[in-house]
């Protein structure tokens, strides 16, 4: 960036152009006369400049507006929410609320600054209800987890305690029954020996045999009970306990997921409450987003979901958007250096660079007119400057070419007839020569001479003045080959210089 104190001009041209108006006025005041009588005196009152060589920086100039290359649109993020409370009552929000505080438009803000506050009472109530519901469900979840743990302990208790204890009890009963059975077998054997000897009666012998049969049945019953316990009771009990565990585990899983969902919903409500305070996502300049369907932003205005609220241009990343006339657009390309002059900062020049030139012209309501002059949008990146704001008017000078040692004349010295450029050349012995020349665009006030003029020759400014026709003593029309597009561009440049 640099501070601009003087415009870039050729030194000799600056002083001479300052006197050109006075000299031209003097020429108007001179009386009409023929060349043979007083032509030399008339010529002395005509503003003239010499044809010189200089290092020519070829530029094009366009005007436009300063804008940010990064423009963030901030919209209302409130959402419509509906839910049933723990008591079965339906609660929710409409997704609409009211502005209770807003920053003035045009404010310069830093990242995190509050832009707007929206009434969030509906979301606060939903958060309160959800916290109560979550606490209640948290208590129920702990009870379900406790029951699950008890079911797991019951299974372990059965497998490692009750089952083993019951089996040991059966095994003890079997051993007692086997011992009793063995004793009874011994008694029956003794009775069989004693019966022939007459020491016991037949009835006593039969009684002992009955007791033996009873003891055998008792042993078989205990053994069968053990087998049934291991074959049926143990698997059934295990399956019952595992089923209880699975049922309680399912309940706990459901309640945990519900608790996670409720926590997620609570975070959503809290996020919506946070969205009621709108903050700047980055440094910038506040512009209200105006929509024909919505009222202007102010305290008390209702806002709704997806409603555009603010534009926040990034002041640290500015650019200029200009319109390039169709006669010069082909000379401008991305990457060319540029100088930006913002009207609000006189004397300040900012460095820039052409970012892009659109391939299609701008569309306006007059675009359907065949003779409508087309303009092409170009974007020029620029360095930052304190106080630079969007929508400021700026002039951009784009360097399109550099021509060292170029032969130049002021654009004011060239006129056009039938599309061909010509100038009036002052003759050394007196009088003016009308001469067709070949020129190319240069700067806004200089044209590059390709043919028809020599260095040091004097050319007359504003050659279309009627009174100069009396001074023309010779018409030289050399055969000049030139590019029609360059000639048209040069004519446009000359026209721009005359308008200025």
Q: How distant, in Å, are the alpha carbons of 193, 323, 363, 411, 491 from that of 63?
A: 141, 7, 18, 20, 19
- Beta-carbon contacts of 80 under 8 Å, excluding residues fewer than 6 positions away, are 92, 93, 94, 95, 305
CA distance 288 to 472: 63
E strands within 111-219? 114-118
The yes/no answer on whether domain 77-82+92-119+279-311 falls in CATH 2.40.50.100 is: yes
d(Cα 173, Cα 14) in Å, to the nearest integer? 131
Average pLDDT rounded to a whole number, residues 455-481: 77
Phi-psi region of 343 (alpha: psi -120 to 50; beta: other; left: phi over 0): alpha
Class at the top of the CATH hierarchy for domain 60-66+314-363+372-402: mainly beta
pLDDT class of 471 with cuts at 50, 70, 90: confident
Q: Are strands 472-476 and 432-436 parallel, antiparallel or unpaired?
A: parallel
Mind giving me the DSSP string for 194-246? HHHHTSS-HHHHHHHHHHHHHHHHHHHHHHHHHHHIIIIIHHHHHHHHHHHHH
> According to the model, what pLDDT value does residue 387 have?
86
Residue 110 to residue 345: CA distance in whole angstroms: 24
Give the pLDDT confidence of 139-158 residue by residue, as tens digits: 999 999 999 999 999 999 99
* Partner residues linked to 349 by β-bridges: 2
CB contact set of 195 (below 8 Å; sequence gap of 6+): 202, 205
SS3 77: coil
Higher-pLDDT residue of 62 and 92 is 62
Q: What percent of the chain shows pLDDT beyond 90?
A: 55
| Residue 202: both structure tokens together | 């037949």
Mean pLDDT across the stretch 261-278? 92
Rounded Cα distance between 493 and 500, Å, is 11
Cα 67 from chain centre: 16
Backbone φ and ψ of 388, nearest 5°: -70, 125
What architecture is the 43-56+404-474 domain classified under in CATH? Answer: Beta Barrel (2.40)
Which tokens is 301 given?
A: 């205005």
Give me the half-sphere count of Cα atoms (radius 13 Å) on the Cβ side of residue 106.
3
Predicted confidence (pLDDT) at residue 382 exceeds the cutoff of 80: yes
**Does residue 293 or residue 106 have the better pLDDT?**
106
> What was the pLDDT predicted at 436?
93
**Where in the chain are the domains?**
43-56+404-474, 60-66+314-363+372-402, 77-82+92-119+279-311, 123-276
pLDDT, averaged across the chain: 83
Inter-residue contact 430 to 40 (CB < 8 Å): yes
Per-residue pLDDT at 496 exceeds 50: no
Question: What's the rounded mean pLDDT across residues 389-417?
Answer: 92
The token pair at 156 is 């372990």
pLDDT at 185 over 80: yes
For 356, list phi and psi in degrees, rounded to 5. -160, 155
Gap between the Cα atoms of 53 and 455, Å rounded: 7
Give the pLDDT mean for 367-391. Answer: 82
78-87, 174-183, 460-469: segment of lowest average pLDDT = 78-87
211 compared with 84, residue with greater pLDDT: 211
What pLDDT is attached to residue 1? 39
Q: How do residues 114-144 score in pLDDT, each as one tens digit?
A: 999 999 998 898 898 889 889 999 999 999 9
**Looking at residue 290, what is its pLDDT?**
76
Q: Work out the burial of residue 23: count CB atoms within 10 Å of its CB; fewer than 13 is exposed, 13-18 middle, 19 or more buried.
A: middle
Model confidence pLDDT, tens digit, residues 9-60: 344 343 433 333 333 333 332 333 333 344 444 556 678 899 999 998 888 8
pLDDT band with cut points at 50, 70 and 90 for residue 96: confident
The model's confidence at residue 94, banded by pLDDT at 50, 70 and 90, is: confident
For 285-325, the pLDDT digits (tens) are: 899 987 767 788 899 999 988 889 999 998 888 999 999 99
């Amino acid at each position: 960036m640099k501070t601009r104190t003087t415009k870039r001009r050729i030194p000799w041209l600056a002083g001479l152009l300052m006197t050109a108006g006075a000299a031209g006025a003097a020429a108007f005041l001179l009386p009409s006369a023929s060349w043979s009588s007083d032509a030399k005196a008339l010529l002395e009152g005509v503003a003239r400049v010499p044809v010189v060589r200089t290092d020519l920086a070829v530029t094009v100039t366009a005007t436009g507006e300063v804008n940010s290359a990064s423009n963030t649109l901030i919209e209302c993020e409130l959402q419509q929410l509906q839910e049933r409370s723990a008591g079965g009552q339906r609660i929710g929000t409409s997704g609409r609320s009211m502005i209770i505080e807003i920053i003035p438009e045009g404010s310069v803000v830093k990242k995190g600054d509050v832009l707007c506050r929206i009434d969030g009472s509906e979301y606060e109530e939903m958060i309160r209800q959800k916290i109560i519901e979550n606490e209640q469900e948290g208590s129920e979840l702990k009870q379900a987890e406790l029951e699950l743990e008890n079911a797991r302990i019951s299974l372990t208790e059965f497998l490692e305690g009750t089952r083993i204890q019951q089996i040991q009890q059966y095994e003890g009963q079997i051993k007692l029954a086997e011992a009793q059975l063995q004793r009874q077998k011994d008694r029956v054997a003794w009775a069989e020996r004693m019966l022939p000897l007459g020491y016991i009666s037949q009835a006593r012998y039969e009684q002992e045999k009955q007791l033996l049969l009873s003891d055998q049945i008792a042993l078989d019953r205990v053994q069968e009970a053990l087998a049934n316990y291991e074959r049926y009771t143990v698997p059934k009990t295990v399956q019952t306990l595992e089923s209880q565990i699975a049922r309680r585990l399912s309940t706990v899983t459901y309640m945990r997921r519900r608790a996670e969902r409720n926590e997620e919903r609570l975070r959503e409500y809290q996020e919506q409450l946070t969205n009621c305070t709108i903050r700047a996502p980055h440094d910038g300049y506040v512009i209200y987003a105006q929509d024909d369907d919505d009222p202007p932003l102010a305290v008390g205005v209702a806002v709704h979901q997806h409603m555009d609220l603010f534009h926040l241009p990034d002041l640290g990343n500015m650019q200029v958007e200009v319109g390039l006339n169709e006669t010069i657009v082909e000379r401008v390309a991305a990457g060319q250096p540029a100088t930006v002059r913002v009207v609000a900062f006189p004397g300040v020049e900012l460095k820039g660079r052409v970012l892009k030139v659109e391939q299609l012209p701008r569309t306006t309501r007059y675009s359907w007119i065949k003779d409508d002059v087309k303009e092409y949008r170009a974007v020029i990146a620029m360095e930052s400057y304190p106080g630079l704001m969007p929508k400021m008017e700026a002039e951009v000078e784009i360097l399109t070419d550099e021509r060292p040692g170029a032969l130049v004349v002021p654009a004011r010295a060239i006129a056009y007839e039938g599309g061909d450029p010509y100038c009036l050349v002052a003759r050394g012995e007196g009088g003016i020569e009308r001469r067709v020349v070949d020129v190319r665009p240069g700067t806004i006030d200089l044209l590059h001479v390709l043919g028809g003029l020599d260095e040091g020759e004097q050319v007359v400014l504003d050659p279309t003045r009627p009174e100069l026709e009396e001074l023309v003593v010779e018409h030289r029309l050399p055969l000049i080959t030139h590019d029609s597009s360059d000639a048209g561009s040069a004519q446009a440049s000359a026209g721009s210089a005359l308008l200025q």
